[in-house]
Amino acid sequence: MRAFLDLISNSQWDSGISFVGCGSATPQKVISNHQLGQRVDTNDEWIQSRTGIGERRVIGDHESLIDLATDAALNAVEMADWDVKTIDLIILATSTPEDLFGSAPKIQSNLGASNAFAFDLTAACSGFLFALVTASQYLASGSIKRAVVIGADQLSKWVDWDDRKTCVLFGDGAGAVALESSGDKSGLIGYDLKSDGSKGGCLNLSQSNIFLNLVQGATHQKGEYLPIKMEGKEVYKFAVKEVPIILGEILEKYQIKSENIDWLLLHQANQRILDAVASRFSIPSEKVLSNLKHYGNTSAATIPLMLDEAVRDHRIKSGDLIACSGFGAGLSWGAALFYWHGPY
């Protein structure tokens, strides 16, 4: 392991970008499969066997997505042992901002990160990876030194809770990482991102087509969104096809063998997808990170939420190599290879 690390850190793949902190926050309210079965025609056995999900958390009274995202970011900043005034950039990956003009600036002000610029980025369940890569461009260019990347979503706002085909899958949550262009311990090895808008109809949270009269002879479109619509089988097929391809490509590009991966960290959408991808690379189940059982699919939050859990319970150790892939609406998908260099 150490020899392999030296090989990588001495090589041309040195991005100079380190992962130095992570954090997460989830709503208090837990909704079990059994409880959902009281609302729609479903049951724990069906949900667990098809998805691996046992329960999910939903933002309720006295909670907000911005609060969760702020707490996740704060936890990451505390782990990194940063003064908040030294943060240069905050990116909030979300499809469910509290304000369509952007929720990241509110998080910036909640944190007291007065020297940071902040913006939202939307790429659905791939959002965290897209935001991670975006932040890495600023860091690699030398224009900034410290960035916080947050993935946070409140899909419970947009799920049709009477549609058993979708409502059982999703939950709310937030996760964050602290990234630094320190140069001494390079973390991010490489990445790749992809989109295919031609298949976007498989998974939508689209606006309603309601037009209202504005003035004589003119209408305007009402700002309103429809609940999440999904063709589950198509999304499933897309994930089990494209994730192994993109992961295989970056492993090959950086000449890393799958047996050298310490952890497979995939977007937590469905346990069967995780298992299928792992088996394509002969990665044993002990190396496949999963917390679907407790949170379901929290969209942009799943990857940093899972990372934080595994770092804080000491499964992931400093120097571990993580192969990561996110996928979802757009359609969009991506992969990244990185070392964890946080203090745990």
Residue 317 lies near ligand COA (rule: CB under 6 A): no
Q: What is the DSSP letter of 206?
A: P
Q: What is the DSSP letter of 320?
A: -
Residue 173 lies near ligand COA (rule: CB under 6 A): no
Q: Verify whether residue 209 is a known catalytic residue.
A: no
Using CB under 6 A as the binding rule, the residues of this chain from 11 to 30 that contact ligand COA are none
**Which stretch in 47-55, 127-135, 186-194, 330-338 sits in contact with ligand COA by CB under 6 A?**
47-55
Beta strands 89-93 and 146-154: pairing type? parallel
CB 336 within 8 A of CB 129: yes
Q: Which residues contact 98 (CB under 8 A, 6 or more apart)?
A: 64, 65, 66, 106
Measured CA to CA, the distance from residue 264 to residue 278 in angstroms comes to 8
Residue 125 lies near ligand COA (rule: CB under 6 A): yes
Which residue, 108 or 126, is less far from ligand COA as judged by CB? 126
Q: Verify whether residue 167 is a known catalytic residue.
A: no
Residue 176 amino acid letter: A
Contact pick of 233, 282, 286, 313 for ligand COA (by CB under 6 A) = 233
Measured CA to CA, the distance from residue 256 to residue 327 in angstroms comes to 22
Q: Which residues contact 1 (CB under 8 A, 6 or more apart)?
A: 262, 319
Q: What Å distances lie between residue 329 and 103, 124, 204, CA to CA?
A: 20, 6, 7
Which residue, 41 or 313, is less far from ligand COA as judged by CB? 41
Using CB under 6 A as the binding rule, the residues of this chain from 249 to 288 that contact ligand COA are 269-270
Contact pick of 34, 39, 165, 317 for ligand COA (by CB under 6 A) = 165
Q: How far is the CB of 77 from ligand COA (least distance, A)?
A: 28
Q: Verify whether residue 213 is a known catalytic residue.
A: no
Contact pick of 235, 243, 256, 337 for ligand COA (by CB under 6 A) = 235
Measured CA to CA, the distance from residue 68 to residue 96 in angstroms comes to 13
Catalytic residue among 75, 167, 202, 267: 267
Which residue, 27 or 330, is less far from ligand COA as judged by CB? 330
Q: How far is the CB of 86 from ligand COA (least distance, A)?
A: 34
Q: How far is the CB of 240 from ligand COA (least distance, A)?
A: 9
Partnered with residue 266 across adjacent β-strands are 325
Catalytic residue among 22, 125, 167, 202: 125
Token pair for 310: 């595994």
Measured CA to CA, the distance from residue 191 to residue 208 in angstroms comes to 35
Q: Which residues bind ligand COA (CB under 6 A)?
A: 42, 46-47, 50-51, 125, 164-165, 168-169, 230, 232-233, 235-236, 269-270, 297, 328
Known catalytic residues are: 125, 267, 297
